[in-house]
């Protein structure tokens, strides 16, 4: 009991006030007491996963800044309205900056204290190693999300441009922005360490826990995603190749992806967060309700891009009013009542197919077409008969991954190359390579941190 209280204090008192980068956990219980065995270390990791279940940790807010929606009103979550209008400094400000850095602080607790956790035997050390590896992978994911939103797109040639502050230790100090190259080196460094440890460790999560743990699949999936977004097609191809021999669900079984998270035939989920529908937070994180109460509708262009038999457009996923249904199970032949199905799927097998197709496109367009057709066949879409180009792959990414927090990132990385323009009904425009692709750092940060203006 004493140890549980110690960890609870370490992970709540200390993190409650770290909204800004200069705030490092204070009143910290000594690490020698906090992590005096593997159980305590595991509890700290569980605290990170619990934090991820909060709606404010989901990156889907960025979808409002994309072209997937044709309407949003200032309602249930007013910040969504401002993001929709590319107005990033209006109140209430987008919360991604502060909450992602809070998450990094929790991850840094695990990373910085890796060396002090005692191991009684080899099995203990394996568990310590894999906890540390998961923390590294999760931190890489947090850094990637922040740099995608608050810094220019990194294409490998502009590494000297300002990125984001690299808060990778628990020191008490303000930090300036590191350059983009340094940020991406940190991300890849974390992922490489994590993959090595997870590959060499004898640890293996149970089948029921696998999709909830940021394990080897998630680390490789993130490495493929990061490499694609910086244009490192060789690394993107190598990382995504780990997944393309895993079969996607057949069209008839597609429902399992969203309704049967733990079915043995469902191999499509690589990492997701828990279902909190039976908790007091359910109303706050119900993705469907957030959309409905904001009057959000999917764009006509997106909805009309699906073929007639494409399972991804059926009423279980897009309702008649063009409200996205991906995170709610409606009444159907398998369910007698609506189920608030709040498992957020952050990394999926289909994304890896799409990364592989784009990474191999230039060197082997026939292989790119083959892998796209494997995906399209499984989703009930017509097969391609001619070699795809990058725009065709981007369209397929949009159909497959809508409302999963990647569309804005895709527009940002490809807007200049493909001359992509987003126009709102009120006439406001997000042009190719617009400065609006870089969100404003919140005022609370710029007002307190002398290194960020």
**From first to last of its 453 residues, what are the pLDDT tens digits of the chain?**
333 333 333 444 333 333 344 434 433 334 445 688 999 999 999 999 988 887 677 788 899 999 999 988 876 677 788 899 999 888 667 788 999 999 999 999 999 999 999 999 999 999 999 999 999 999 999 999 999 999 999 999 999 999 999 999 987 688 999 999 999 999 999 999 999 999 987 666 655 668 889 999 999 999 999 999 999 999 999 999 999 999 999 999 999 998 887 788 889 999 998 766 555 555 445 555 667 677 788 999 999 999 999 999 988 889 888 888 887 777 788 888 877 656 789 999 999 999 999 999 999 999 999 999 999 999 999 999 999 999 999 999 999 999 999 999 999 999 999 999 999 988 999 999 999 999 999 988 999 999 998
Helix (H, G, I), strand (E, B), or coil: what is residue 316?
A: coil
Angstrom distances, CA of residue 121 to CA of 1, 38, 193: 24, 11, 22
pLDDT at 332: 82
CB 104 within 8 A of CB 167: yes
pLDDT at 30: 42
Helix (H, G, I), strand (E, B), or coil: what is residue 367?
A: helix
Residues ≥6 apart with Cβ < 8 Å to 410:
394, 397, 398
* Dist. CA 132–CA 194, nearest whole Å: 8
* Dist. CA 108–CA 50, nearest whole Å: 16
* Dist. CA 275–CA 292, nearest whole Å: 20
Closest CA to 79 of 94, 89, 68: 94
Rounded (to 5) percent helix, strand, coil in the chain: 50, 5, 45
**CATH class of residue range 2-448:** mainly alpha
CB 439 within 8 A of CB 100: no
């Amino acid at each position: 009991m004493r140890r549980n209280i110690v960890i609870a204090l370490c992970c709540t008192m200390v993190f409650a006030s770290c909204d800004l980068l200069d705030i490092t956990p204070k009143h910290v219980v000594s690490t020698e007491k906090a992590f005096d065995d593997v159980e305590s270390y595991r509890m700290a990791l569980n605290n990170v996963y619990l934090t991820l279940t909060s709606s404010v940790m989901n990156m889907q807010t960025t979808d409002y800044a994309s072209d997937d929606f044709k309407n949003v009103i200032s309602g249930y979550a007013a910040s969504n309205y401002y993001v929709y209008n590319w107005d990033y400094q209006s109140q209430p400000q987008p919360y991604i900056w502060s909450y992602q850095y809070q998450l990094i602080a929790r991850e840094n607790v695990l990373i910085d204290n890796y060396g002090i956790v005692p191991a009684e035997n080899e099995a203990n050390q394996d568990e310590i190693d894999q906890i540390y590896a998961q923390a590294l992978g999760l931190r890489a994911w947090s850094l990637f999300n922040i740099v995608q939103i608050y810094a220019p797109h990194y294409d490998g040639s502009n590494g000297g441009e300002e990125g984001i502050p690299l808060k990778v230790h628990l020191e008490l100090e303000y930090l300036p922005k590191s350059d983009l190259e340094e940020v991406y080196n940190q991300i890849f460094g974390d992922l490489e360490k994590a993959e090595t440890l997870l590959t060499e460790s004898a640890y293996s999560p149970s089948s029921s826990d696998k999709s909830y743990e940021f394990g080897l699949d998630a680390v490789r999936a993130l490495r493929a995603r990061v490499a694609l977004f910086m244009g490192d097609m060789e690394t993107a191809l190598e990382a995504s190749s780990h997944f393309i021999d895993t079969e996607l669900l057949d069209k008839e079984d597609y429902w399992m992806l969203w309704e049967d998270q733990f079915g043995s035939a469902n191999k499509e989920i690589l990492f997701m967060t828990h279902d909190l529908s039976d908790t007091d937070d359910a109303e706050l994180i119900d993705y469907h309700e957030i959309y409905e109460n904001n009057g959000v509708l999917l764009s006509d262009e997106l909805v009309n891009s699906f073929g007639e038999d494409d399972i991804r457009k059926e009423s279980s996923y897009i309702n008649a009013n063009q409200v996205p249904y991906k995170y709610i199970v409606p009444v159907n032949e398998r369910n007698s009542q609506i189920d608030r199905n709040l498992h957020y799927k952050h990394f999926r097998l289909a994304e890896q197919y799409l990364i592989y197709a784009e990474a191999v496109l230039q060197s082997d367009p026939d292989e790119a077409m083959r892998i796209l057709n494997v995906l399209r066949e499984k989703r009930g879409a017509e097969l391609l008969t001619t070699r795809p180009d990058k725009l065709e792959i981007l369209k397929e990414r949009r159909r497959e991954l809508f409302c999963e927090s990647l569309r804005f990132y895709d527009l940002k990385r490809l807007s200049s190359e493909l001359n992509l323009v987003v126009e709102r009904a009120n006439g406001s425009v997000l042009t190719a390579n617009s400065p609006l692709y870089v969100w404003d750092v919140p005022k609370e940060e710029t007002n307190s941190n002398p290194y960020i203006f």
